[in-house]
């Protein structure tokens, strides 16, 4: 799965807390790919961190993220 596919799965997760959405997404990724849920959760976490780093500065300011 690509980083973009992983993020799209996260975006499609039922609206709940961020953690619950990550768990839901990790289960779906694990089911589709055969990796463990823990491995899928780690892949998702890395993909989300990298996506946040790629945000333009004006969006980072709005979200309260700093470099």
Predicted confidence (pLDDT) at residue 40 exceeds the cutoff of 90? yes
Interacting residues of 65 by C-beta distance below 8 A, sequence separation 6+ = 52, 55
What's residue 53's pLDDT?
Answer: 83
What's residue 31's pLDDT?
Answer: 96
Element (H, E) at 33: helix 18-33
Q: Give 24 or 60, the one with higher predicted confidence.
A: 24
Interacting residues of 45 by C-beta distance below 8 A, sequence separation 6+ = 22
- In the chain, the percentage of residues whose pLDDT exceeds 70 is 85
User: Cα angle vertex 5, ends 62, 33, to 5°?
Assistant: 135
């Amino acid at each position: 799965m690509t980083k973009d596919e992983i993020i799209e799965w996260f975006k499609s997760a039922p609206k709940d807390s961020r953690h619950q959405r990550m768990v839901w997404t990790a289960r779906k990724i694990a089911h589709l790919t055969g990796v463990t849920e823990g491995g899928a959760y780690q892949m998702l976490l890395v993909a989300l961190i990298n996506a946040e780093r790629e945000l333009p500065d004006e969006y980072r300011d709005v979200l309260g993220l700093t470099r």
